[in-house]
């Protein structure tokens, strides 16, 4: 597939390092998620961190809300496959404890810890250890004075909150910073990040906070982060979903893959929406195919199409696809028919051909296939279906006749 570049260039930001993961500058945009276990539960938290990393998370955040959590972090950090960010609430001592535990980044909410001397102390300690800090502004927990000054949680108020925190960090010579200005309201969040990216060159962490359960949460977060990423804004992202956090990591990876901002590891399964022409339950076959490919590293675009009349043509750009027709599956590679299989073997055939293509390449698989025979079979089924269904598969003309008769007869 040819990738179409965004009309916006990625904004230039400075680069920081969260453990071994570079964030900002020309580093790939990274995916983050957050554990929902008690951080003191070391084994449970590590299990979740491994699951998040497997689903595509490059960095994982854990809450550090009490002493036991900090002690848990001391055991989690050395065993984690990805760098750990400690999420700090109101107690700056927890930030210091998390630094003692060896975390690779802190997240401070300027609305929660407001005492400049405490903020500066944490920044000084972080600086001494080379640990970066995310300034995590949240529209829902803005400092009261800013709320009053701006008449609410406006983009300007959120940016000013970040700038105020940055000024405290500046006072102690601490620059190792990334910033987020999250809101659950998508237009507010988008505008806040746009203004922030004009105001600073620190790397930005994108997120729509408290986006909610699926599918609404996914839509809101994708709308907000997708808009900004296409404008070149954002260096690291997190979906905040009311769901298994593995969904957050997976969604983050899939968003970056969909925008061409991250190299694809797994299949890109496309499927027609089905219609009156469908010769098979497209939803079932597509879901079965998705499950069959699972997390396999097969970075091909694979199409599941409901009928052989239009399927192979509509999905001709896919690397591999299958279209249903008269209880058979017509397999095609880059629009060329290569095999015909019984309908109940469609999914396993797709997987087999995809694996073969990964092994020897599409041209070799085409060369190995009896394309003439497959094309003939597809042409026959296409003609037979056109004969039965005609050009109007949804039978709209019959319905229109019926409606007209009813209206005329009324």
**Residue 304 binds ligand SF4 (CB under 6 A):** no
Residues touching ligand SF4, count (CB under 6 A): 13
Binding mask 226-265 for ligand SF4 (x = CB under 6 A): ----------------------------------------
- With CB under 6 A as the contact rule, which of the stretches 104-112, 289-297, 304-312, 400-408 interacts with ligand SF4? 304-312
Cα(28)–Cα(61) distance, rounded to whole angstroms? 19
* E strand residue ranges, 212-309: 236-238, 268-271, 301-305
**Residue 311 binds ligand SF4 (CB under 6 A):** yes
Is there a cis peptide before residue 215, judged by omega within 30 degrees of 0? yes
**Residue 275 binds ligand SF4 (CB under 6 A):** yes
Residue nearest to ligand SF4 (CB): 306
Cα(375)–Cα(336) distance, rounded to whole angstroms? 8
Closest separation in Å from C-beta 275 to ligand SF4? 3
Cα(85)–Cα(326) distance, rounded to whole angstroms? 55
* E strand residue ranges, 83-131: 84-87, 105-108
Which token pair is 229? Answer: 């990423």
Is the Cβ of residue 275 or residue 403 nearer to ligand SF4 in the bound state? 275
Sheet with 177-182, strands from edge to edge, namely 177-182, 133-138, 105-108, 84-87, 59-63, 30-34, 236-238, 205-206
Cα(53)–Cα(288) distance, rounded to whole angstroms? 24
The residue within the footprint of ligand SF4, chosen from 76, 105, 278, 365 (CB under 6 A), is: 278
The residue within the footprint of ligand SF4, chosen from 72, 83, 234, 306 (CB under 6 A), is: 306
Cα 258 from chain centre:
8
Closest separation in Å from C-beta 95 to ligand SF4? 54
**Residue 310 binds ligand SF4 (CB under 6 A):** yes
Name residue 75's beta-bridge partners.
none
Is the separation of the CB atoms in 339 and 349 below 8 Å?
A: yes
- With CB under 6 A as the contact rule, which of the stretches 22-30, 283-291, 303-311, 340-348 interacts with ligand SF4? 303-311
- With CB under 6 A as the contact rule, which of the stretches 6-14, 186-194, 271-279, 283-291 interacts with ligand SF4? 271-279
Residues that bind ligand SF4 (CB under 6 A): 272-275, 277-278, 305-307, 309-311, 314
């Amino acid at each position: 597939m040819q990738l179409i570049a965004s009309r916006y260039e990625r904004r230039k930001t400075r680069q920081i390092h969260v453990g071994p993961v570079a964030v900002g500058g020309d580093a790939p945009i990274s995916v983050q998620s957050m554990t929902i276990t008690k951080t003191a539960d070391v084994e449970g938290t590590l299990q979740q961190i491994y699951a998040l990393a497997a689903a595509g998370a490059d960095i994982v955040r854990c809450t550090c809300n009490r002493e036991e959590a900090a002690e848990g972090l001391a055991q989690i950090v050395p065993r984690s496959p990805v760098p750990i960010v400690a999420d700090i609430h109101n107690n700056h001592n927890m930030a210091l404890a998390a630094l003692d535990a060896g975390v690779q980044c802190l997240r401070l909410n300027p609305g929660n810890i407001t005492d400049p001397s405490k903020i500066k102390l944490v920044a000084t300690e972080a600086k001494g250890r080379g640990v970066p800090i995310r300034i995590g502004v949240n529209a829902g927990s803005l400092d009261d004075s800013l709320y009053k000054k701006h008449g609410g949680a406006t983009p300007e108020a959120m940016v000013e909150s970040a700038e105020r925190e940055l000024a405290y960090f500046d006072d102690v010579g601490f620059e190792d910073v990334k910033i987020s200005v999250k809101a659950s309201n998508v237009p507010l969040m988008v505008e806040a990040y746009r203004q922030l990216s004009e105001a600073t060159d620190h790397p930005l962490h994108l997120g729509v906070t408290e986006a909610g359960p699926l599918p609404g949460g996914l839509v809101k977060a994708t709308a907000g982060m997708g808009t900004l990423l296409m404008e070149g804004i954002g260096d690291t992202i997190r979906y905040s979903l009311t769901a298994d956090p593995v969904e957050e990591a997976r969604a983050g990876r899939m968003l970056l893959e969909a925008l061409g901002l991250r190299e694809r590891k797994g299949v890109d399964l496309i499927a027609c929406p089905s219609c009156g022409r469908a010769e098979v339950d497209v939803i079932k076959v597509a879901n079965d195919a998705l499950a069959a490919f699972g997390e396999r590293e097969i970075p091909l675009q694979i199409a599941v199409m409901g009928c052989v009349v239009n399927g192979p043509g509509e999905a001709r750009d896919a690397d591999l696809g299958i279209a249903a027709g008269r209880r058979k599956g017509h397999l095609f590679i880059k629009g060329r028919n290569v095999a015909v299989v019984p309908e109940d073997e469609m999914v396993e055939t797709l997987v087999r051909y995809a694996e073969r293509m990964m092994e020897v390449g599409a041209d070799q698989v085409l060369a190995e296939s009896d394309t003439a025979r497959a094309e003939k079979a597809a042409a026959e089924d296409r003609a037979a279906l056109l004969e039965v269904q005609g050009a109007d598969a949804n039978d709209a003309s019959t319905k229109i006749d019926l409606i007209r008769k009813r209206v005329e007869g009324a």
